[in-house]
Amino acid sequence: MYKDKWGLTDRPFQNVPDPKFLFYSSSHEEALVRLLYCVTESKGLMLLLGPWGVGKTFICRVFKEKVAEKGYEVAIMNPPPATVEDFVYHLNDAFFPGSGARGRIETYKHLGELARSMSAEGRELVVVIDEAQFIRDPKVFEEIRLLLDLTQGGRFLISVVLAGVPELWNTVGSVQGLKHRVGISYRISPLDRSETEEYLMHRLKIAGLNHNIFLKDAVDLIFRESEGIPARINNISDLSMLIATGDGLDDIGARTIKTAVDEIEGGRVADAETT
């Protein structure tokens, strides 16, 4: 609806993991570096932590693309497996497409053979489980531990990444033998005030607008209300652009942001200085 007003080719603040809108904060960049290090240096298990909406799914998808370029085979499970049977099904579907249903023992047999074959070629299997905090069956974590038992020559044959909210660390720590297999644990930080403004400008530019329509007080309020969480920034910014279009505004100030946040969160925002 507001694309024509600003001459946009796309909506800049949709909450979908579209790689073309990827914005690297220093924390996101470091997260990707850690993920790549975990695989290339055979660290086994990595925890990628952060609050909802901070960009974990985005980073996991970019990570998959990066390691796939190196010839690695990657399985991303999102939603996470609910049961051991579900976990085994996802492994089969990702690494042996078209093979049909296999039992747990047969799956691990073939998985071990594939992992050893790839290791001989300098490649590796990678399993990424996004939103892993929603794994309710503790037996699934036991299966993850078993995957990490596949080693050869002092290297893990399969790398595992668990992405989720910070509380995931406590869950992993409660599984006997799994906590000590965590090679790296990294928490993605929200954007700071400067990064929030860069993020807004970045997404506007990708969508076809070369100037920032969000005034300084608007950026201040977006940062305050979103707490630097990209998904919240998107929600506020998208609605504020719609409101500005309806009001015939060419720039967006704090008054419009306040209206947007009030609509999203039920009037929680205190009065803000307006422009």
Per the domain annotation, does 215 fall within a domain?
Answer: yes
Which of 187, 220, 240 terminates a domain? The answer is 187
SS3 126: strand
Q: Are residues 54 and 127 in the same domain?
A: yes
Q: Are residues 129 and 248 in the same domain?
A: no
Which of 187, 203, 228 corresponds to the end of one domain? 187
- Domain range for residue 170? 26-187
Whole-model pTM: value is 0.88
Q: Is 16 inside any structural domain?
A: no
Quick one: which H or E segment has residue 116? helix 104-120
Looking at 134, 162, 187, the residue that finishes a domain is: 187
Q: Based on the domain organization, do 146 and 245 belong to the same domain?
A: no
Are 134 and 212 found together in one domain? no
Confirm whether 182 is domain-assigned: yes
The 3-state DSSP composition of the chain as helix, strand, coil percent (nearest 5) reads 50, 10, 35
Between helix 26-40 and helix 56-68 the angle, nearest 10°, is 40
Q: Let me know if residue 273 belongs to a domain.
A: no
Name the phi and psi angles at 194, rounded to 5: -65, -45
What tokens does 95 get?
């690494």
Closest CA to 228 of 50, 98, 16: 50
CA distance 174 to 193: 36
pLDDT of amino acid 273: 45
CATH for 215: 1.10.8.60
Query: Do residues 34 and 154 share a domain?
Result: yes
Both 107 and 167 in one domain: the answer is: yes
What is the tally of structural domains in the chain? 2
Residues 60, 171 share a domain: yes
Same domain, 163 and 119: yes
* Cα diameter, the chain: 66
The per-residue pLDDT string of the chain (275 residues; one tens digit each, 9 = 90 and over) reads: 789 999 999 999 998 878 788 898 999 999 999 999 999 999 999 999 999 999 999 999 999 999 999 999 999 999 999 999 999 999 999 999 887 767 889 999 999 999 999 999 988 999 999 999 999 999 999 999 999 999 998 899 999 999 999 999 999 988 888 988 999 999 999 999 999 999 999 999 999 998 999 999 999 999 999 999 999 999 999 999 999 999 999 999 999 999 999 999 875 444 444 44
Separation CA 225–CA 214 (nearest Å)? 15
Inter-residue contact 67 to 32 (CB < 8 Å): no
Query: Domain containing 104 — which CATH number?
Result: 3.40.50.300
Asked if residue 177 is part of any domain, the answer here is yes
Would you say residue 93 lies in a domain? yes
Find where tokens 């910070």 sit: 166
Q: Which two tokens stand for residue 182?
A: 């965590």
